[in-house]
Structure 1
Amino acid sequence: MEFILHLALILLFTKISGQLALKIGQPSVLGELLAGVILGPAVLGWIQQTSFIHEFSEIGVLVLMFIAGLETDLEQLKANWKSAFAVAVLGVLFPFIGGYSLALAFGMSQGHALFLALLFCATSVSISVQALKEMNKLNSREGTTILGAAVVDDILVVVLLAVLMSVLGTGESVSIGALIGKKVLFFGIIIAACIWLIPMVMKLFARFQVSETIVSAGVIIALAFSYFAEYMGIAGIIGAFAAGIAISQTKHKETVEHKLEPIAYGIFVPVFFVSIGLNISFEGVGSQLLFIVLISIMAIATKLFGGALGARLTGFNGRSSMAIGTGMVSRGEVALIIAGTGLSSGLLDPEYYTSIIIMVIVTTLVTPSLLKFIFSKTETSGKQRSAS
């Protein structure tokens, strides 16, 4: 029954800390992330990472990205695909070079250095999505570019990870053509399902006389798309996001969104935010403090400026480019999964594991505040131009 107490503590602390964050002018998601650090091993030690919290948080992030898909303007997403691609490519290239150079500077082997470089490339926009949503920027040109870039980024990182594990002899030999073909097949099936299958499924469920069938249908589709994405070697959040976009094109969008949001943000999403913070621990990191500081700065700077450059080269102004780059900074749960894979396969030196996890948490914690700061500056600048 301990999980009941843990759930109560998580919900209590996330709502209080979220409100405190808003009081000092920060996004509530920052407070909710810090609640996990406070409740976890790093501070109070009241809650540990358990299978219950992990599974609950998995649902939380999938629902969060599903709702993001529901609220995304598909036409805006299509219009900014070139920018999204440029942001993703340069947002992988810069971190890869920076991470690799830093790893070699600290005396890591070639294999460990390449893996750290790959870890730097990961992006998780689930935290950015929540911050953008709070600022009503999720459907902006910048917001849709960040979401589109995240999809491309995930594909690039998955392909690079498979190639790296194959080359270094820690995974099965892979065919690059087959790997890319698998991703193409995934998107082909998803697009076909969005056009023909999803409207039929929603129409069918709408005829049922049992309670809340439309919401259940939306959740079923989101989970099915997420499972299919994982099966095809793509992050489940991409599948959930695609499911949201698919249902947003039907007349049931408002029903699903308005009835799912209270459950999502009332229960599941707070557990996801806390689970990120539960991964941090300060045991034995004193001797690696310089390493932690440098990899955190490098991880933030290379992803931010790489993404910003991609946006700038495709027509965004300076402030909007910086906002897009900032939205790509968070490594979140994607990097945590990759780090776990590297540890189990021997590509990540166990000596640096805790330090790298701290770096991942740092990038995740700074993203909401940076986004709020840059967007507030953009709005101030816009108002000044209008006044003049």
Structure 2
Amino acid sequence: MQGLSTTLVLIALLAVAAPLAVRFLDRVVKVPLVVFEIVLGILLGPSLLGWIESTQFTDTLADFGLAMLFFVAGNEIDFADIRGRPAIRATAGWVISLAAGVGAGFLLAPTPEAAVIIGVALCSTALGALLPILRDSGESRSPMGIAVTALGAAGEFGPLIAISLFFSGRQLGPATAVLLGFVFLAGIAIFLASKARHTLFHSQVTRTLHTSGQFAVRSIMFILTVLVVLSMVLGLDMLLGAFAAGVLWKVAIARAPERDRKVIETKLDAVAFGFLVPIFFIDTGIDFDLGALTSSPSALAMLPLFVILLLIIRGLPSMLAAPPRSTFAEKRAIMLFGATGLPIIVAVTAIGRDQGFISSGISSALVGAGMLSVLLFPLLALRQGQRGGRRAAEARVAQEEVP
């Protein structure tokens, strides 16, 4: 009990320290918040100082945080914005990335299972981590932001399907049938939610929005729990249920008064990014096996290799989703955003390590590459996007000045 108490207090301290560190360094360099959360977890975890040890309770909270991250991703995707060209091109790019990733996996790993794990990790995009970055930078509604959202939707939903198909413990045929059954049930729920008026539901949300009833937040947790449990009962990855729950909630609350939806979004951000999601990223740092990475020269060499492979295998195909007439700088920004991956990498490598498909060294190298991608790629992408935007604006001004 003493160890758990110390761990909880220190995790809460790190959750407070991370945004302060971001603000302190903001004038020098803009570092994504999740990077500080992971690095602080590594620093105080068993790999370095050893002040925090992962427990079953903190792991459970971290799982809730990961589920909430994917719920927010499903809730924030505007399918009306990404449908058509962005979605088609993003999906095509993801299929290319998956094929290339599995091919690279076969070159690096001795078994088909390990190759699939490496391939799925390398074809992912961290939409849950990118959405706050895009929102904070004011790019979420821009053409580039819409393209990145489409990339993230394909780069998170696609790997979730792949995980559910290949690692459900069933043959591919039965696994596909179960997956289609889940998609069918979730699709019916989303369709019915989109057609219903929800008058009583919305009135109850409004009535309890500023009371202890908090019907909206309780409904979010109920929908999230039901779909996560359903996906787990069916042998699918829980993140698939969390993602579907986010989409379902977005449809269910769509016709509520706009002022209520804004308040609910604020409350959702508070629960997700104020409580659960930081625990997931800090716990990722605590569980990171730095020793397995540094003690093996081959694993250490794989770290920069995986960073490069993320750029090539995931980044280059992501450029297919670039908006028409994008500058080369904007295309480079989209490539960097598309190659940013972490949550799926953490999830799929945990599966591979627990089932003995990959070694702790390969797992740590993949997670380390994901952390570096979150640290470096969005920062470089924002600079490229701003440069591309300035050049596009200068070109428009020059055209207007031509008589």
Question: TM-score by structure 1 length?
Answer: 0.81
Q: How far is 1:237 from its partner? A: 3.6
The residue identity in structure 2 corresponding to 1:178 is A
**Alignment-derived partner of residue 13 in structure 1:** 14
Q: Does residue 63 of the first structure (1) align with residue 74 of the second (2)?
A: no
Question: 2:360 matched to 1:353?
Answer: yes
Within the candidate set 341, 344, 352, 1:342 is matched to: 352
Q: What RMSD, in angstroms, separates the aligned Cα atoms of the two structures?
A: 3.4
Structure 1 residues 345 and 363: alpha-carbon distance in aligned structure 2, compared to 1, 3 A threshold: closer
Map 1:66-215; keep pairs closer than 5 Å.
66-79=71-84, 80-103=86-109, 108-154=110-156, 156-161=158-163, 164=166, 171-172=170-171, 174-175=173-174, 178-179=177-178, 181-182=180-181, 184-196=183-195, 199=198, 202-203=201-202, 205-206=204-205, 211=212, 212-215=214-217
- Match of 1:301? 312
Greater mean alpha carbon deviation, residues 356-365 or residues 198-207: 198-207
- 2:96 corresponds to which letter in structure 1? L
- Structure 1's 364 and 258: CA in aligned 2 closer, same or farther, altered over 3 A? same
> Are 2:74 and 2:244, in contact at CA under 8 Å, matched by a contact in 1?
no
Q: Cα–Cα, structure 1 residues 313 and 4, in superposed 2: closer, same or farther, change >3 Å?
A: same
State whether residues 96 and 117 of structure 1, in contact with CA within 8 Å, keep that contact through their aligned partners in structure 2.
Answer: yes
Q: Rate the CA distance shift 1:194–1:35 in 2: closer, same or farther, 3 A.
A: farther
**Offset of residue 69 of structure 1:** 4.7
- Measured against aligned partners, the alpha-carbon deviations of 1:31-74 in whole angstroms (never above 9, x if no partner) come to 22222221222222222222222222233233344444554444
Q: Secondary structure at the match of 2:190?
A: helix
Residue identity matched to 1:224:
V
Aligned to 2:286: 278
Report the AA paired with residue 334 of structure 1.
Answer: I
- The answer to whether the 8 Å contact 1:71/1:139 transfers is no
Could you tell me which amino acid in structure 2 is paired with residue 6 of structure 1? T
Query: Where does the alignment leave 5 or more consecutive residues of structure 2 unmatched?
Result: 398-403
Aligned-pair CA distance for 1:205: 2.9
Name 1:363's counterpart in structure 2.
370
Deviation at 1:344, TM superposition (A): 4.2
Equivalent position amino acid for 2:221 in 1: V
What residue is the counterpart of 1:3 in the other structure?
A: 4
Distance in 1 (CA, whole Å) between partners of 2:206 and 2:386 is 46
Aligned length: 377
Distance in 2 separating the partners of 1:83 and 1:362: 25
Q: What displacement does 1:195 show? A: 0.6
The amino acid of 1:25's aligned partner reads V
Aligned-pair CA distance for 1:110:
4.9
Q: Which residue does the alignment assign to 1:260?
A: 268
State the match for 1:216 in structure 2: 218
Q: CA deviation at 1:143?
A: 3.6
Residue 383 of structure 2 corresponds to which residue in structure 1?
A: 376
* Distance (whole Å) between structure 1 residues aligned to residue 267 and residue 323 of structure 2: 40
Aligned-partner Cα distance in 1 for 2:265–2:37? 22
- The answer to whether the 8 Å contact 2:125/2:155 transfers is yes
- For the 8 Å contact 1:122–1:154, the answer to whether it is kept is yes
| C-alpha distance in structure 2 between counterparts of 1:141 and 1:55, whole Å | 38
- Report the CA distance between 1:307 and its aligned residue: 2.0
Aligned partners of 2:120, 2:79: CA distance in 1, in Å? 30
Report the equivalent of 2:401.
none
Between the aligned partners of 1:21 and 1:151, the Cα distance in structure 2 is 27
1:331 and 1:385 map into 2 onto residues whose CA distance is 28
The DSSP-based 3-state class of the residue aligned with 1:43 is coil
Stretch deviating more after TM superposition (189-198 or 281-290): 189-198
| Residues 284, 135 of structure 1: alpha-carbon distance in 2 compared, 3 angstrom cutoff | same
The runs of 5 or more residues in structure 1 that have no matched partner are none
Letter matched to residue 280 of structure 1: F
